[in-house]
Structure 1
Amino acid sequence: MPAPVLSGPQYLREGLKLVLGPGLRLFVLLPLTINLLLFGGLIYVALHQFGMWVDTFMPELPNWLSFLNYILWPLFVALVVLIMFFTFTMIANVIAAPFNGFLAEKVEVVLRGTDDFPTFSWGELAEMVPRTFSREMRKLGYFLPRAIGLFILSFIPTVNLIAAPLWLLFGVWMMAIQYIDYPADNHKMSWQDMLAWLRAKRWQSLSFGSIVYLVLLIPGVNVVMMPAAVAGATLFWVRERGAEALVVEKRRS
Protein backbone atom coordinates (compact mmCIF):
# COMPACT_ATOMS: atom_id res chain seq x y z
CA MET A 1 0.00 0.00 0.00
CA PRO A 2 1.18 3.58 -0.56
CA ALA A 3 2.63 5.37 2.46
CA PRO A 4 0.32 7.67 4.43
CA VAL A 5 0.84 11.37 3.80
CA LEU A 6 2.54 11.89 7.19
CA SER A 7 4.69 8.75 7.05
CA GLY A 8 8.08 10.44 7.59
CA PRO A 9 8.51 9.61 11.32
CA GLN A 10 7.63 5.96 10.68
CA TYR A 11 10.21 5.64 7.90
CA LEU A 12 12.93 7.25 9.98
CA ARG A 13 12.13 5.09 13.00
CA GLU A 14 12.26 1.91 10.91
CA GLY A 15 15.44 3.13 9.22
CA LEU A 16 17.12 3.55 12.61
CA LYS A 17 16.21 -0.02 13.56
CA LEU A 18 17.70 -1.28 10.31
CA VAL A 19 21.07 0.48 10.64
CA LEU A 20 21.40 -0.69 14.25
CA GLY A 21 20.87 -4.30 13.16
CA PRO A 22 23.86 -6.67 12.87
CA GLY A 23 23.68 -6.96 9.08
CA LEU A 24 24.23 -3.28 8.35
CA ARG A 25 26.46 -2.02 11.16
CA LEU A 26 29.63 -2.46 9.11
CA PHE A 27 28.31 -0.20 6.33
CA VAL A 28 27.40 2.51 8.87
CA LEU A 29 30.83 2.84 10.52
CA LEU A 30 32.61 4.83 7.79
CA PRO A 31 29.91 7.49 7.19
CA LEU A 32 29.42 7.65 10.96
CA THR A 33 33.11 8.46 11.46
CA ILE A 34 33.00 11.13 8.75
CA ASN A 35 29.91 12.70 10.33
CA LEU A 36 31.56 12.76 13.77
CA LEU A 37 34.57 14.65 12.41
CA LEU A 38 32.53 17.15 10.42
CA PHE A 39 30.01 17.92 13.13
CA GLY A 40 32.87 18.31 15.60
CA GLY A 41 34.18 20.98 13.23
CA LEU A 42 30.72 22.57 13.08
CA ILE A 43 30.55 22.88 16.86
CA TYR A 44 34.04 24.42 16.98
CA VAL A 45 33.21 27.02 14.31
CA ALA A 46 29.82 27.77 15.88
CA LEU A 47 31.35 28.48 19.28
CA HIS A 48 33.84 30.95 17.80
CA GLN A 49 31.77 32.69 15.11
CA PHE A 50 28.11 32.40 16.07
CA GLY A 51 27.71 35.75 17.83
CA MET A 52 29.46 37.64 15.04
CA TRP A 53 27.21 36.08 12.39
CA VAL A 54 24.04 36.92 14.32
CA ASP A 55 25.21 40.55 14.64
CA THR A 56 25.91 40.64 10.89
CA PHE A 57 22.37 39.58 9.97
CA MET A 58 20.56 41.66 12.59
CA PRO A 59 19.23 44.92 11.09
CA GLU A 60 20.24 48.19 12.75
CA LEU A 61 17.13 49.78 14.20
CA PRO A 62 16.67 53.42 15.23
CA ASN A 63 16.60 54.10 18.96
CA TRP A 64 12.83 54.49 19.10
CA LEU A 65 12.47 50.93 17.73
CA SER A 66 15.17 49.37 19.90
CA PHE A 67 12.56 47.39 21.85
CA LEU A 68 12.10 45.26 18.72
CA ASN A 69 15.59 43.83 19.20
CA TYR A 70 14.19 41.50 21.86
CA ILE A 71 11.71 40.15 19.31
CA LEU A 72 14.05 40.02 16.31
CA TRP A 73 17.09 38.52 18.05
CA PRO A 74 15.61 34.98 18.43
CA LEU A 75 14.48 35.08 14.79
CA PHE A 76 17.97 35.88 13.52
CA VAL A 77 19.57 33.35 15.86
CA ALA A 78 17.28 30.77 14.22
CA LEU A 79 18.30 32.04 10.78
CA VAL A 80 22.02 31.61 11.53
CA VAL A 81 21.42 28.14 13.00
CA LEU A 82 19.51 27.07 9.87
CA ILE A 83 22.19 28.41 7.50
CA MET A 84 25.05 26.83 9.46
CA PHE A 85 23.28 23.53 9.85
CA PHE A 86 22.33 23.25 6.22
CA THR A 87 25.79 24.24 4.93
CA PHE A 88 27.62 21.69 7.05
CA THR A 89 25.04 18.99 6.34
CA MET A 90 25.52 19.47 2.59
CA ILE A 91 29.32 19.25 2.99
CA ALA A 92 28.99 16.09 5.09
CA ASN A 93 26.73 14.48 2.50
CA VAL A 94 29.10 15.29 -0.38
CA ILE A 95 31.97 13.59 1.41
CA ALA A 96 29.92 10.63 2.64
CA ALA A 97 27.94 10.17 -0.61
CA PRO A 98 29.65 6.96 -1.86
CA PHE A 99 29.21 5.31 1.54
CA ASN A 100 25.59 6.47 1.77
CA GLY A 101 24.88 5.16 -1.73
CA PHE A 102 26.36 1.82 -0.79
CA LEU A 103 24.40 1.77 2.49
CA ALA A 104 21.19 2.41 0.50
CA GLU A 105 22.03 -0.62 -1.68
CA LYS A 106 22.47 -2.89 1.34
CA VAL A 107 19.28 -1.63 3.00
CA GLU A 108 17.38 -2.43 -0.19
CA VAL A 109 18.86 -5.95 -0.21
CA VAL A 110 17.61 -6.50 3.35
CA LEU A 111 14.15 -5.15 2.48
CA ARG A 112 13.67 -7.10 -0.74
CA GLY A 113 15.42 -10.28 0.36
CA THR A 114 17.25 -10.45 -2.98
CA ASP A 115 20.61 -8.98 -3.94
CA ASP A 116 20.64 -7.54 -7.47
CA PHE A 117 23.66 -5.36 -6.74
CA PRO A 118 27.36 -6.28 -7.15
CA THR A 119 29.09 -8.02 -4.24
CA PHE A 120 30.83 -5.65 -1.85
CA SER A 121 34.43 -4.80 -2.65
CA TRP A 122 36.60 -1.74 -2.10
CA GLY A 123 36.94 -1.58 -5.88
CA GLU A 124 33.18 -1.31 -6.29
CA LEU A 125 33.06 1.39 -3.63
CA ALA A 126 35.80 3.30 -5.46
CA GLU A 127 33.86 3.01 -8.73
CA MET A 128 30.86 4.63 -7.07
CA VAL A 129 32.84 7.77 -6.17
CA PRO A 130 32.70 9.55 -9.59
CA ARG A 131 28.99 8.79 -10.03
CA THR A 132 27.93 9.82 -6.54
CA PHE A 133 30.20 12.89 -6.61
CA SER A 134 28.61 13.97 -9.90
CA ARG A 135 25.15 13.52 -8.39
CA GLU A 136 26.11 15.55 -5.33
CA MET A 137 27.35 18.33 -7.59
CA ARG A 138 23.95 18.24 -9.30
CA LYS A 139 22.31 18.69 -5.90
CA LEU A 140 24.61 21.63 -5.18
CA GLY A 141 23.67 23.12 -8.55
CA TYR A 142 20.03 22.90 -7.50
CA PHE A 143 20.70 24.17 -3.98
CA LEU A 144 23.11 27.08 -4.49
CA PRO A 145 21.02 29.49 -6.65
CA ARG A 146 18.08 29.12 -4.30
CA ALA A 147 20.25 29.40 -1.19
CA ILE A 148 21.96 32.51 -2.56
CA GLY A 149 18.56 34.07 -3.25
CA LEU A 150 17.48 33.36 0.33
CA PHE A 151 20.82 34.62 1.64
CA ILE A 152 20.37 37.94 -0.20
CA LEU A 153 16.80 38.12 1.07
CA SER A 154 18.18 37.84 4.61
CA PHE A 155 19.86 41.26 4.24
CA ILE A 156 16.83 43.18 2.94
CA PRO A 157 15.20 45.12 5.79
CA THR A 158 11.63 44.08 6.65
CA VAL A 159 11.60 41.46 3.89
CA ASN A 160 14.23 39.49 5.81
CA LEU A 161 11.60 38.70 8.45
CA ILE A 162 10.36 35.88 6.20
CA ALA A 163 13.87 34.56 5.51
CA ALA A 164 13.94 32.10 8.43
CA PRO A 165 10.58 30.43 7.54
CA LEU A 166 11.65 30.19 3.90
CA TRP A 167 15.01 28.68 4.88
CA LEU A 168 13.14 26.14 6.97
CA LEU A 169 10.77 25.14 4.17
CA PHE A 170 13.61 24.96 1.65
CA GLY A 171 15.71 22.92 4.07
CA VAL A 172 12.90 20.41 4.57
CA TRP A 173 12.51 19.96 0.81
CA MET A 174 16.27 19.59 0.35
CA MET A 175 16.45 16.91 3.06
CA ALA A 176 13.90 14.85 1.14
CA ILE A 177 15.88 15.34 -2.08
CA GLN A 178 19.22 14.63 -0.41
CA TYR A 179 18.34 11.26 1.06
CA ILE A 180 15.75 9.83 -1.32
CA ASP A 181 18.16 10.53 -4.16
CA TYR A 182 20.51 7.76 -2.92
CA PRO A 183 18.20 4.83 -3.80
CA ALA A 184 16.94 6.70 -6.88
CA ASP A 185 20.50 7.12 -8.14
CA ASN A 186 21.29 3.45 -7.42
CA HIS A 187 18.48 2.61 -9.84
CA LYS A 188 19.81 5.08 -12.43
CA MET A 189 16.76 7.35 -12.20
CA SER A 190 17.65 10.69 -13.79
CA TRP A 191 17.79 13.85 -11.70
CA GLN A 192 14.75 15.43 -13.38
CA ASP A 193 12.71 12.23 -13.11
CA MET A 194 13.60 11.95 -9.43
CA LEU A 195 12.46 15.53 -8.77
CA ALA A 196 9.23 14.91 -10.67
CA TRP A 197 8.64 11.73 -8.64
CA LEU A 198 9.15 13.60 -5.36
CA ARG A 199 6.84 16.41 -6.47
CA ALA A 200 4.16 13.83 -7.27
CA LYS A 201 4.52 12.66 -3.65
CA ARG A 202 5.02 16.15 -2.29
CA TRP A 203 3.40 15.72 1.12
CA GLN A 204 4.97 12.33 1.83
CA SER A 205 8.33 13.79 0.78
CA LEU A 206 7.91 16.89 2.99
CA SER A 207 6.84 14.69 5.89
CA PHE A 208 10.05 12.68 5.58
CA GLY A 209 12.19 15.77 5.01
CA SER A 210 10.65 17.48 8.07
CA ILE A 211 11.46 14.73 10.54
CA VAL A 212 14.98 14.32 9.12
CA TYR A 213 15.57 18.07 9.38
CA LEU A 214 14.30 18.09 12.97
CA VAL A 215 16.46 15.25 14.27
CA LEU A 216 19.56 16.47 12.41
CA LEU A 217 19.31 19.75 14.33
CA ILE A 218 19.90 17.88 17.61
CA PRO A 219 23.64 17.76 18.49
CA GLY A 220 24.87 14.22 19.04
CA VAL A 221 21.66 12.65 17.76
CA ASN A 222 22.31 13.98 14.25
CA VAL A 223 25.47 11.90 13.83
CA VAL A 224 23.57 8.62 14.32
CA MET A 225 20.49 9.76 12.43
CA MET A 226 22.21 10.52 9.11
CA PRO A 227 22.67 6.79 8.28
CA ALA A 228 19.15 6.20 9.64
CA ALA A 229 17.89 8.85 7.18
CA VAL A 230 19.55 6.95 4.30
CA ALA A 231 17.84 3.74 5.43
CA GLY A 232 14.49 5.51 5.94
CA ALA A 233 14.69 7.07 2.49
CA THR A 234 15.38 3.63 1.01
CA LEU A 235 12.29 2.30 2.79
CA PHE A 236 10.33 5.20 1.28
CA TRP A 237 11.67 4.32 -2.18
CA VAL A 238 11.02 0.57 -1.99
CA ARG A 239 7.48 0.84 -0.63
CA GLU A 240 6.32 3.71 -2.81
CA ARG A 241 7.81 2.27 -5.99
CA GLY A 242 6.39 -1.13 -5.11
CA ALA A 243 2.94 0.41 -4.62
CA GLU A 244 3.19 2.11 -8.01
CA ALA A 245 4.13 -1.17 -9.68
CA LEU A 246 1.06 -2.85 -8.16
CA VAL A 247 -1.19 -0.06 -9.46
CA VAL A 248 0.26 -0.39 -12.96
CA GLU A 249 -0.13 -4.17 -12.84
CA LYS A 250 -3.80 -3.88 -11.81
CA ARG A 251 -4.48 -1.46 -14.65
CA ARG A 252 -2.98 -3.88 -17.18
CA SER A 253 -4.99 -6.82 -15.85
Structure 2
Amino acid sequence: MEEPLQPTFVLVRPQMGENIGAAARAMLNFGLDRMRLVSPRDGWPNPRAVALASGAGRLLDDAGVFETAAGALSDCTYVFATTARGRGLTKPIVTPERAMEQARAFCARGQRVAVLFGPERAGLENDDIARANAIISVPVNPEFASLNLAQCVLLTAYEWRRQTAGAVPERMEMAGADAATALEVEKLAEHYETRLDEAGFFFPESKAPGMKLALRNLWSRLPLTRSDVQVFHGLLRQLVRHRDRQD
Protein backbone atom coordinates (compact mmCIF):
# COMPACT_ATOMS: atom_id res chain seq x y z
CA MET A 1 0.00 0.00 0.00
CA GLU A 2 1.38 3.42 -1.01
CA GLU A 3 2.29 5.75 1.85
CA PRO A 4 0.03 8.84 1.95
CA LEU A 5 1.60 12.16 1.00
CA GLN A 6 2.61 14.61 3.68
CA PRO A 7 4.26 18.05 3.51
CA THR A 8 8.02 18.32 3.25
CA PHE A 9 9.64 20.73 5.72
CA VAL A 10 12.51 22.62 4.10
CA LEU A 11 15.02 24.30 6.42
CA VAL A 12 16.72 27.04 4.42
CA ARG A 13 20.33 27.82 5.44
CA PRO A 14 19.91 26.62 9.05
CA GLN A 15 22.75 27.83 11.25
CA MET A 16 22.86 25.48 14.22
CA GLY A 17 22.89 21.70 14.22
CA GLU A 18 21.01 21.74 17.51
CA ASN A 19 18.05 23.49 15.90
CA ILE A 20 18.00 21.01 13.02
CA GLY A 21 17.90 18.14 15.50
CA ALA A 22 15.17 19.78 17.58
CA ALA A 23 13.16 20.41 14.40
CA ALA A 24 13.48 16.75 13.42
CA ARG A 25 12.25 15.69 16.86
CA ALA A 26 9.26 18.04 16.62
CA MET A 27 8.37 16.73 13.17
CA LEU A 28 8.45 13.10 14.22
CA ASN A 29 6.37 13.91 17.31
CA PHE A 30 3.53 14.74 14.95
CA GLY A 31 4.04 12.06 12.32
CA LEU A 32 6.12 13.99 9.77
CA ASP A 33 9.37 12.54 8.50
CA ARG A 34 10.25 14.39 5.28
CA MET A 35 12.94 17.00 5.83
CA ARG A 36 15.11 18.84 3.34
CA LEU A 37 18.06 21.10 4.14
CA VAL A 38 19.32 23.97 2.01
CA SER A 39 23.01 24.87 2.53
CA PRO A 40 23.28 24.19 6.29
CA ARG A 41 25.91 26.60 7.63
CA ASP A 42 28.00 24.00 9.47
CA GLY A 43 27.84 21.31 6.79
CA TRP A 44 26.14 17.94 6.83
CA PRO A 45 25.93 15.49 8.56
CA ASN A 46 26.14 17.32 11.87
CA PRO A 47 26.68 15.40 15.14
CA ARG A 48 25.00 18.16 17.16
CA ALA A 49 21.81 17.65 15.17
CA VAL A 50 21.85 13.94 15.99
CA ALA A 51 22.33 14.65 19.70
CA LEU A 52 19.29 16.95 19.84
CA ALA A 53 17.07 14.74 17.65
CA SER A 54 16.52 12.39 20.60
CA GLY A 55 15.31 9.31 18.71
CA ALA A 56 14.47 11.04 15.44
CA GLY A 57 17.85 10.18 13.95
CA ARG A 58 16.34 8.22 11.05
CA LEU A 59 14.62 11.39 9.89
CA LEU A 60 18.03 13.12 9.74
CA ASP A 61 19.54 10.13 7.92
CA ASP A 62 16.91 10.43 5.20
CA ALA A 63 17.01 14.23 4.93
CA GLY A 64 17.75 15.60 1.48
CA VAL A 65 20.49 18.22 1.20
CA PHE A 66 20.36 20.88 -1.52
CA GLU A 67 22.48 23.87 -2.51
CA THR A 68 19.51 26.13 -3.32
CA ALA A 69 15.89 26.58 -2.32
CA ALA A 70 14.93 26.19 -5.99
CA GLY A 71 16.48 22.72 -6.02
CA ALA A 72 14.76 21.70 -2.81
CA LEU A 73 11.37 22.78 -4.19
CA SER A 74 11.71 21.51 -7.76
CA ASP A 75 9.16 18.67 -7.42
CA CYS A 76 6.65 20.60 -5.28
CA THR A 77 3.37 22.04 -6.53
CA TYR A 78 2.43 24.25 -3.55
CA VAL A 79 4.82 26.02 -1.20
CA PHE A 80 4.22 27.82 2.11
CA ALA A 81 6.84 30.18 3.55
CA THR A 82 7.01 31.00 7.26
CA THR A 83 7.87 34.57 8.23
CA ALA A 84 7.12 36.91 11.12
CA ARG A 85 7.66 40.13 9.14
CA GLY A 86 5.80 41.86 6.36
CA ARG A 87 7.78 41.59 3.12
CA GLY A 88 5.95 43.87 0.69
CA LEU A 89 4.97 40.92 -1.52
CA THR A 90 1.39 40.29 -2.60
CA LYS A 91 0.55 36.84 -1.22
CA PRO A 92 -2.14 35.12 0.82
CA ILE A 93 -1.23 35.12 4.52
CA VAL A 94 -2.63 32.26 6.60
CA THR A 95 -2.27 30.91 10.12
CA PRO A 96 -0.52 27.57 10.68
CA GLU A 97 -3.95 26.00 11.26
CA ARG A 98 -5.33 27.21 7.94
CA ALA A 99 -2.12 26.35 6.12
CA MET A 100 -2.19 22.76 7.29
CA GLU A 101 -5.90 22.47 6.39
CA GLN A 102 -4.95 23.47 2.88
CA ALA A 103 -1.91 21.18 2.91
CA ARG A 104 -4.08 18.18 3.78
CA ALA A 105 -6.43 19.02 0.92
CA PHE A 106 -3.53 19.32 -1.54
CA CYS A 107 -1.89 16.10 -0.33
CA ALA A 108 -5.20 14.25 -0.58
CA ARG A 109 -5.20 15.15 -4.29
CA GLY A 110 -1.69 13.80 -4.73
CA GLN A 111 0.07 17.16 -4.80
CA ARG A 112 3.47 17.71 -3.22
CA VAL A 113 3.50 20.42 -0.56
CA ALA A 114 6.51 22.10 1.04
CA VAL A 115 6.90 24.46 4.00
CA LEU A 116 9.92 26.78 4.04
CA PHE A 117 11.59 27.75 7.31
CA GLY A 118 14.34 30.39 7.35
CA PRO A 119 17.68 30.64 9.16
CA GLU A 120 17.64 31.49 12.83
CA ARG A 121 19.15 34.97 12.69
CA ALA A 122 17.14 36.76 10.00
CA GLY A 123 14.59 34.33 8.59
CA LEU A 124 13.84 33.79 4.92
CA GLU A 125 14.98 36.27 2.29
CA ASN A 126 12.54 37.83 -0.18
CA ASP A 127 13.98 35.71 -2.99
CA ASP A 128 13.01 32.60 -1.00
CA ILE A 129 9.53 33.90 -0.17
CA ALA A 130 8.90 34.88 -3.80
CA ARG A 131 9.02 31.16 -4.65
CA ALA A 132 6.16 30.42 -2.25
CA ASN A 133 2.45 30.39 -3.03
CA ALA A 134 1.41 31.62 0.43
CA ILE A 135 2.84 32.85 3.72
CA ILE A 136 2.33 31.29 7.15
CA SER A 137 2.20 33.88 9.92
CA VAL A 138 1.92 32.81 13.56
CA PRO A 139 -0.32 35.14 15.66
CA VAL A 140 2.31 35.89 18.30
CA ASN A 141 2.89 38.88 20.57
CA PRO A 142 3.73 41.75 18.16
CA GLU A 143 6.17 43.18 20.72
CA PHE A 144 8.15 39.92 20.69
CA ALA A 145 7.49 38.09 17.45
CA SER A 146 10.73 36.11 17.19
CA LEU A 147 10.26 32.33 17.19
CA ASN A 148 13.02 29.75 17.44
CA LEU A 149 13.33 27.62 14.29
CA ALA A 150 12.36 24.41 16.08
CA GLN A 151 9.41 26.15 17.76
CA CYS A 152 8.05 27.27 14.40
CA VAL A 153 8.48 23.75 13.02
CA LEU A 154 6.68 22.31 16.06
CA LEU A 155 3.71 24.68 15.74
CA THR A 156 3.25 23.84 12.08
CA ALA A 157 3.70 20.10 12.60
CA TYR A 158 1.18 20.18 15.47
CA GLU A 159 -1.43 21.79 13.23
CA TRP A 160 -0.83 19.12 10.58
CA ARG A 161 -1.44 16.38 13.13
CA ARG A 162 -4.49 18.10 14.58
CA GLN A 163 -6.33 18.16 11.28
CA THR A 164 -8.47 15.17 10.40
CA ALA A 165 -7.90 13.49 7.07
CA GLY A 166 -11.57 13.84 6.16
CA ALA A 167 -11.81 17.58 6.77
CA VAL A 168 -11.18 19.21 3.41
CA PRO A 169 -12.36 22.85 3.71
CA GLU A 170 -11.98 23.70 0.05
CA ARG A 171 -10.84 22.14 -3.19
CA MET A 172 -10.02 23.01 -6.74
CA GLU A 173 -11.46 20.90 -9.55
CA MET A 174 -8.44 19.92 -11.65
CA ALA A 175 -10.52 18.27 -14.42
CA GLY A 176 -7.93 15.56 -14.88
CA ALA A 177 -5.02 18.01 -15.11
CA ASP A 178 -1.79 17.78 -13.11
CA ALA A 179 -0.57 20.76 -11.13
CA ALA A 180 2.67 22.28 -12.39
CA THR A 181 5.75 21.60 -10.29
CA ALA A 182 7.94 24.36 -8.90
CA LEU A 183 10.62 23.43 -11.46
CA GLU A 184 8.18 23.84 -14.35
CA VAL A 185 7.04 27.24 -13.07
CA GLU A 186 10.70 28.20 -12.57
CA LYS A 187 11.49 27.37 -16.20
CA LEU A 188 8.45 29.34 -17.36
CA ALA A 189 9.56 32.37 -15.35
CA GLU A 190 13.08 32.10 -16.82
CA HIS A 191 11.65 31.90 -20.36
CA TYR A 192 9.63 35.09 -19.89
CA GLU A 193 12.46 36.92 -18.13
CA THR A 194 14.82 36.11 -21.00
CA ARG A 195 12.45 37.26 -23.75
CA LEU A 196 11.33 40.36 -21.85
CA ASP A 197 14.96 41.24 -21.22
CA GLU A 198 15.65 40.96 -24.97
CA ALA A 199 12.67 43.26 -25.61
CA GLY A 200 13.97 45.91 -23.21
CA PHE A 201 11.09 45.46 -20.76
CA PHE A 202 13.25 45.68 -17.63
CA PHE A 203 13.98 49.40 -17.81
CA PRO A 204 15.52 51.36 -16.28
CA GLU A 205 18.29 48.99 -15.24
CA SER A 206 18.15 50.15 -11.62
CA LYS A 207 14.58 48.84 -11.33
CA ALA A 208 15.19 45.55 -13.17
CA PRO A 209 15.78 43.34 -10.05
CA GLY A 210 12.54 44.55 -8.43
CA MET A 211 10.58 44.08 -11.65
CA LYS A 212 11.90 40.53 -12.05
CA LEU A 213 11.06 39.71 -8.41
CA ALA A 214 7.50 41.02 -8.89
CA LEU A 215 7.09 38.97 -12.07
CA ARG A 216 8.37 35.80 -10.38
CA ASN A 217 6.02 36.42 -7.48
CA LEU A 218 3.13 36.72 -9.95
CA TRP A 219 3.89 33.31 -11.48
CA SER A 220 4.02 31.63 -8.06
CA ARG A 221 0.57 33.01 -7.14
CA LEU A 222 -1.11 31.43 -10.16
CA PRO A 223 -2.56 27.90 -9.66
CA LEU A 224 -0.91 26.68 -12.87
CA THR A 225 -1.36 23.21 -14.34
CA ARG A 226 1.22 21.58 -16.58
CA SER A 227 -1.03 22.31 -19.54
CA ASP A 228 -1.18 25.98 -18.53
CA VAL A 229 2.61 26.13 -18.46
CA GLN A 230 2.82 24.70 -21.99
CA VAL A 231 0.23 27.22 -23.22
CA PHE A 232 2.25 30.13 -21.81
CA HIS A 233 5.47 28.77 -23.34
CA GLY A 234 3.75 28.31 -26.69
CA LEU A 235 2.16 31.76 -26.59
CA LEU A 236 5.51 33.46 -26.05
CA ARG A 237 7.27 31.37 -28.71
CA GLN A 238 4.59 32.28 -31.27
CA LEU A 239 4.87 35.98 -30.47
CA VAL A 240 8.64 35.80 -30.95
CA ARG A 241 8.24 33.94 -34.26
CA HIS A 242 5.75 36.56 -35.48
CA ARG A 243 8.12 39.36 -34.54
CA ASP A 244 11.01 37.67 -36.34
CA ARG A 245 8.90 37.22 -39.50
CA GLN A 246 7.92 40.89 -39.42
CA ASP A 247 11.57 41.87 -39.07
TM-score normalised over the length of structure 1: 0.25
Q: Which has the higher strand share?
A: 2
TM-score normalised over the length of structure 2: 0.26
| Higher RCO, Cα 8 Å, sep 6+ | 1
Q: Which has the higher helix share?
A: 1
